[in-house]
Structure 1
Amino acid sequence: MNGTGTGIGIDTDPNTTPHPGADNIPHSVIVVGCGPTGLLMAGDLAAAGVPVTLVEKRPHKISNLSRAIVVHARTLELLDARGLSDEADSLGTRLDRFNLFSRLTIELDTLPSRFNHLLVLPQYETEKLLQRRAVAAGVRFRYETEVTGVSQGADGVTVETRGPGGETEALRAAYLVGADGMRSTVRNAVGLPFPGRSVIRSVLIADVRLAQPPEDVLSLHTSGEAFVFFASFGDGYHRVVAWHRDVSENEPLHLEEVKETARRAAGHDFGMHDAQWLSRFHSDERQAPAYRVGRVFLAGDAAHVHTPAGGQGMNIGLHDAANLSWKLVAVLQGRADDALLDTYQSERHPIGTKAMRSSGALIRLAMPKYAWTMGLRSALASTVNALTPVRRRLALQITGLDVKYPAPEGAHRLVGSRAADVDLEGGRLYEALRGGRFVLITPQECADKTGLEDRLTVERRTGRGRGSGTTVLVRPDGYVAWAAEAADPAEVEAAVEAHVGERIALAR
């Protein structure tokens, strides 16, 4: 695989980007949905040499509406592995702590990550970074193109589409990834249900200026009948998310309703004015029972949706894409059996369930209905605030750093866990991952004997101390595939053969 770089500064129109091959290539992938999840997925595949067509029913335009606004530590690590984290950090506002329910402080400056902070960054900025990378990698974009049908067989999948002028076309590929949101056409086309329910109906959302902004970049105010959340974009505008028990579901939203809701929750409206976006939305908890149906996969909101509490939605979608993309590459390039793709379900579905439950618990704490539940919330916040280990565990969960995938019985304790960004002789681990390949971290005496450099990246760890003698094989998504203490070259060779396989030329 080739390193991708950031693609920043390339002013190529995605509608005319050259593409290495035609739509009927049997080793290609179609991605539906041009949000962050679809863009990361398509960019990863194209950077690895897999022909990709990205289908999007909207016109070619990055929306200036912010939608998701939080980028967590684990997501920044994944952006780092693609050469995008430094620019993302420069565009957003960094927070090393934030408050929940006034009394509960989540501290991030002690996180075990280079990115020991939360980044407030509008979604459109994240999309710009990912789109430039996808363009540079050679993704073919099909804007104003709607999916009208999906069928699949033993040798591939066919996607029926309708273009901007009403013209129809059948696109063929080896696999299809639906990253087309909560109302996913791909999910519906393969007959998957989306069970769940609406947790909050008619949440108010607005991007406004404030005459008297809160002191904190992020702040939450609640009462027994309403809540209001503020996030500063750093450019004079704030995102406001608000709700009250008497909210209308069908009336057009006006700024006065947002201001009144803020007064109910916080006692005043902070001088809201100059709204550039006003909308209502329902906050649902839903999850598809399967993320794979044959040659079709779901990722992001097409697979799972949950409340916005904790700001995990976009982040988890990006993690889905990072988990699936390298597996598709390995299978398409003949280095892994199709069964590897089943691990996408076993690894990511439990994460979606966990996020749905944790964000649901947070939003229910934000909207207590009775006085005794408000008292319970205050007591719980005070208790957690006093227990550093519990508070730390909550920070790890919200930021995505606590994810650990299932490991085989008897495997090394590191297998399945996120790999820390250790210093190597050639740089940092996440810099080494920018090549899109597995990275083998070995002690000095082992690295000289492997002879595996043509199949993966081999690096020597610098320094001494805990873990310095452990040989670790890191997957392209930054999780440990295999590890051993004092491994001999034969063990390393066997592990690489099992997890990386033989690298062969991609059939075109």
Structure 2
Amino acid sequence: MTECLIVGAGPVGLTLAAELARYGVGVRLIDRAPHATETSKALVVWSRTLELMDRMGCTAAFLEAGLRASGASIRSGGTVLGRPRFESIASAYNFALMIPQRDTERLLAAHLRSFGVAVEREVELVGFHAEADGVEVRLRHADGREERVSTPWLIGCDGAHSPVRHGLGLAFAGAAQGDDWLLADVRLDGPEAPPPDEIATYLHRDGPFVVFPIPGRRARIVATLGRTDPLHPRPIPTLNDVQALIDRRAGGGFRASDPVWLTHFRINERKVAQYRHGRVFLAGDAAHIHSPAGGQGMNTGMQDAVNLAWKLAMVERRQAAPSLLDSYSPERSAVGDLVLRNAGRLTDMATLSNPAAQAARNLALRFLLGLHAVRDRMATTMSEIEIAYAGSPLSIGPGAGARWEPDAYDGPPPGSGPAPRFVLYTADAARGTALTGRFPGLLEPAPRTTTDASRLFIVRPDGYVGLSAGAAAWGDAERYLQALAS
């Protein structure tokens, strides 16, 4: 039996491999591509992902490489309908970190190498067979050599066309949106160009036109182009096409130049029903794909990886029972449903084609975005800090499943040590120390204090509340931990 085998070395696979390696679990990460992503692709790292990177130990490198966007604007014609700001996000990272995916992969690969693990490139998964005690895998190398591997766990982080998902024979339920979209990475100059720290959306009767800032005084443009005949695909867009869209939908006043990526794409919205099948797991685009509206895709996938990593590590290190892994699919599938729904709604709203519906939308947005609470709610939703696991089998008690608030920390973030541990928060240090002593594999040795003396909390390694109970509910805490251990 060899290490855990991860297929796909994009941001999700790199995150999972780095977390497993950090926790001392053997891992192999393979990818059939000869080199890492060279284009910008996913651009935004949101607040919750940055918080989780604190546990990983790689936030600083991302902050140095990225651009901090402080807000967004939504416009129609010459009218600004609203300007949501990100300063209201209740996180130390109250901004959108704009960073091209090629840099995200570069930084994550460097972080992974710090644990002595490198991506194995031009290695392809060609087949696998899962048994009760492991997975038999066939790999093909660039020279045609085939390798047979036995692994305790196979994880597919291998994208929308996932060979792992296909090997499981799973339905990828959903549909493709009918419109063609233009994508252009360019330089923008001119007096009317959007601010370089703002995500700007222009709503137009022909469809939305969105500008995302990129480090290095560059920008990503995304715009709908309408439907086309599949038998007569559109030619690759030109810089003139981009400029025509700027002039028509954004009112001109700035020019595009120096294109490094011009392409078309279509939006697919699809998801598997279950993320786990025995000893085989799916994460990221292998499990869910959706509209890029809101920039949630890569973040959701990386959070899939963080969720799975500590659970796999605790089971592999025999700190917790294998049943801990049963929580991965219900937790992350529920999040996938939420993100799919929210992104779909944003896309539907932006792409309304009926003039009366567009006018009503713009009127409603101007009113709603004039309300401070609505602007804050939009920013909070995009940041993903309110993602929670209320319905999880690991969540017991009022408020369980919610993110543990950063200002409640009295030490390093839970899960930031060399082994994953739950953390006990209590005002009763003596009883707390006695409990941690009975569950040394599950709990950090020293309980931490809480500002709420009326309650005790057990916080998961990924910084979500597992158990929330009364201050004297030591029996509940004992039973919760016993269930994890057995």
**TM-score (structure 1 length as normaliser):** 0.86
Shift, 1:184, TM fit: 0.8
Shift, 1:188, TM fit: 0.7
Shift, 1:269, TM fit: 7.3
1:120-269 superposed matches below 5 A? 120-139=98-117, 141-212=119-190, 213-217=193-197, 218-245=199-226, 249-268=233-252
Q: Which amino acid aligns with 2:106?
A: K
Gaps of 5+ in 2: none
Alpha-carbon separation, structure 1, partners of 2:395 and 2:240: 61
Secondary structure in 1 matching 2:14: helix
Runs of 4 or more, structure 1, over 6 Å off, are none
Percent pairwise identity = 33
Q: Could you tell me whether the CA contact under 8 Å between 2:23 and 2:418 is conserved in 1?
A: no
Alpha-carbon separation, structure 2, partners of 1:471 and 1:66: 45
Secondary structure in 1 matching 2:312: helix
1:59-138 superposed matches below 5 A? 59=34, 61-101=35-75, 102-138=80-116
Alpha-carbon separation, structure 2, partners of 1:308 and 1:284: 10
Aligned with residue 482 of structure 1, among 436, 459, 467: 467
Gaps of 5+ in 1: 1-23, 503-508
Q: Could you tell me whether the CA contact under 8 Å between 1:259 and 1:272 is conserved in 2?
A: yes
Shift, 1:348, TM fit: 1.0
Aligned with residue 10 of structure 2, among 32, 35, 44: 35
1:291-330 superposed matches below 5 A? 291-330=275-314
Q: Which amino acid aligns with 2:194?
A: P
Change (3 A) 1:64 1:31: same
Deviates further, 105-114 or 289-298: 105-114
String of CA shifts for 1:290-348, please: whole Å, max 9, x gaps.
21222211110110001111000100001111111111122222333333222211111
Change (3 A) 1:243 1:108: same
Alpha-carbon separation, structure 2, partners of 1:410 and 1:164: 46
Q: Could you tell me whether the CA contact under 8 Å between 1:94 and 1:119 is conserved in 2?
A: yes
Alpha-carbon separation, structure 2, partners of 1:211 and 1:200: 32
Shift, 1:366, TM fit: 1.6
Alpha-carbon separation, structure 2, partners of 1:156 and 1:345: 19
Q: Which amino acid aligns with 1:70?
A: V
How many residues align structurally? 472
Q: Which amino acid aligns with 1:321?
A: A
Shift, 1:99, TM fit: 2.3
Partner of 2:360: 376
Change (3 A) 1:76 1:121: same
Question: Is 1:47 the counterpart of 2:27 in the alignment?
Answer: no
Secondary structure in 2 matching 1:307: coil
Q: Which amino acid aligns with 2:218?
A: Y
Partner of 1:13: none
Shift, 1:482, TM fit: 1.1
Q: What is the root-mean-square deviation in Å for CA atoms of aligned residues?
A: 2.5
Shift, 1:380, TM fit: 2.5
Alpha-carbon separation, structure 2, partners of 1:436 and 1:343: 16
Q: Which amino acid aligns with 2:158?
A: D
Shift, 1:258, TM fit: 2.1
Q: Which amino acid aligns with 1:187?
A: R
